[in-house]
Amino acid sequence: MSQSENRWRAHQQDRIPGPRAGRGLAAPPVVVALLAALGILAAGSPPGARAQVNDLFHITNGSFATHVEYHGIDLPPGKEFVLADLAGPGKITYFYYTDDSFHHSTDSSGAFYEGLVLKVYWDNAAEPSIRVPLWAFFGVFGRQALDYQSLAIQINHYNFMCYLPMPFSQHARLVLANDGDQRYKRSVAYGVDYESDPAYAGEQSRLHAAWNRSNPTDGMHRLLAVTGRGQYIGNFLQVNTRWPGWWGEGDTIFHVDGQAMTHTPGTEDEYGSCWGFGHTYSYIYSGYIQMDDGKNRMYRWYLANPVRFQKSLDADIQNQRATEGAQVPSHDDYTSVAFWYQDGAHPAPPLTPYAERIAPNRSGDYPLEPLK
């Protein structure tokens, strides 16, 4: 049992049941897995996966195409490299990237260099709609890659894969930029599968992604703030905390077209667990994949229940902890990547400068309290 798990169990009496009382005790992980499997067999596969399988028989006017490269990339600071420039109309169905940096953790830019930025431009837009650190796009934070399997994005032995559909009408341009302070010189392989199909000429939906860090938070972390029409489909979240007890009392709060609503009463509820995170897990819609001392990594996809909006959406998560029978604001280090579809290509928010992105955790220590 890890130190984090020990501390979590020691502080459970500080949890506030509130409206969540009466759920009962958690079953052992093996039992949970068996019950989940039986539920899937009884109810059929989950909606997102079921839709993909159900549509496989459908023959369209499209043609499969792919853009694959395997070679060295030498990218000095301040320079860019075009990964792919695809002619439309079409839809990207798969994108993967890998390099050999895990063999070079101590030389030049090291492993999973955080100065790499993925920019994706839709059609003839002057600004990218996706502008996030490359590795963070796949759920990597702090130069530490962890394998997981989700329906939308996954990592398996240094293969970083995205299955989110990305329609475009004229062009799709994927660019790798170096806004850091190190030269990136690695052997890389990457590929983009896409469908060329005139049916997408009139499709206006475009994938967007944004990175944000609160270091530290003021008790609240902003996941996404957007105006227009679209749907929010999920996020990765990295929480680095120095609080020795249960840190995850924060609710997820949406403001949909100006209307405020609490989505879940606790961080673990939002990311696929209840009554704390008892262990790490990786499922198709949610995952909690890191439980190290003070380091917590998770993801949540709203693929079956997208958060649709017609005018605007603000998505926030509270940073709260449980202490002495109360839920109180914390000041931890939160980093996130949010994904959404929007009507038309819109500029992604400006990316925080490299030095700030890699700055040490500034949350500071909490006053020590005796374990109960």
Structure tokens, 340: 């959404």
pTM for the whole structure = 0.87
The rounded mean pLDDT for the chain is 88
Backbone angles phi, psi at 313, to 5 degrees: -150, 130
Choose the CATH number for 3-11+61-357 among 2.60.120.1390, 1.20.58.340, 2.60.40.10, 3.50.50.60: 2.60.120.1390
Mean pLDDT, range 22-39, rounded to an integer: 40
Mean pLDDT, range 36-62, rounded to an integer: 64
Band (pLDDT 50/70/90 cuts) for residue 51 is low
Cβ density class 235-248: b for 16+ within 10 Å, e for less: bbbbbbbbbbbbbb
Separation CA 168–CA 355 (nearest Å):
33
Separation CA 179–CA 176 (nearest Å):
10
Band (pLDDT 50/70/90 cuts) for residue 37 is very low
Band (pLDDT 50/70/90 cuts) for residue 60 is very high
Percent of the chain with pLDDT over 90: 77
Beta-bridge mates of residue 162: 95, 153
Confidence at residue 49, expressed as pLDDT on a 0 to 100 scale: 66
**Pair 317, 267: CB distance under 8 Å:** yes
Confidence at residue 1, expressed as pLDDT on a 0 to 100 scale: 40
Per-residue pLDDT at 10 exceeds 50:
no
Band (pLDDT 50/70/90 cuts) for residue 58 is confident
Separation CA 217–CA 106 (nearest Å):
31
Helix (H) or strand (E) holding 137: helix 134-137
Confidence at residue 14, expressed as pLDDT on a 0 to 100 scale: 43
Per-residue pLDDT at 92 exceeds 70:
yes
Confidence at residue 13, expressed as pLDDT on a 0 to 100 scale: 41
- Concatenated DSSP letters of 226-249: EESSEEEEEEEEEEE---SS----
Confidence at residue 28, expressed as pLDDT on a 0 to 100 scale: 46
Closest C-alpha among 234, 201, 229, 224 to residue 342:
229
In the chain, count H helices and then E strands: 6, 24
Per-residue pLDDT at 81 exceeds 70:
yes
Separation CA 345–CA 208 (nearest Å):
8
Confidence at residue 15, expressed as pLDDT on a 0 to 100 scale: 42
Mean pLDDT, range 99-109, rounded to an integer: 84
Mean pLDDT, range 88-109, rounded to an integer: 91
Category of 147 on φ-ψ map: left (φ > 0), alpha (ψ -120 to 50) or beta: beta
Backbone angles phi, psi at 6, to 5 degrees: -60, -45
Per-residue pLDDT at 186 exceeds 90:
yes
Confidence at residue 159, expressed as pLDDT on a 0 to 100 scale: 98
Per-residue pLDDT at 45 exceeds 70:
no
Pairing of strands 166-168, 90-99: antiparallel
Separation CA 109–CA 178 (nearest Å):
11
Mean pLDDT, range 114-132, rounded to an integer: 97
- Bigger pLDDT: 94 vs 322: 94
Per-residue pLDDT at 229 exceeds 90:
yes
Highest mean pLDDT pick, 51-55, 107-111, 310-314? 310-314
Beta-bridge mates of residue 322: 327
Band (pLDDT 50/70/90 cuts) for residue 348 is very high
- Concatenated DSSP letters of 80-127: EEEEEEEESSEEEEEEEEEESGGG-TTSTT-TT-TTEEEEEEETT-SS
Band (pLDDT 50/70/90 cuts) for residue 148 is very high
Closest C-alpha among 116, 105, 107 to residue 76:
116
Place of tokens 């206006």: 204
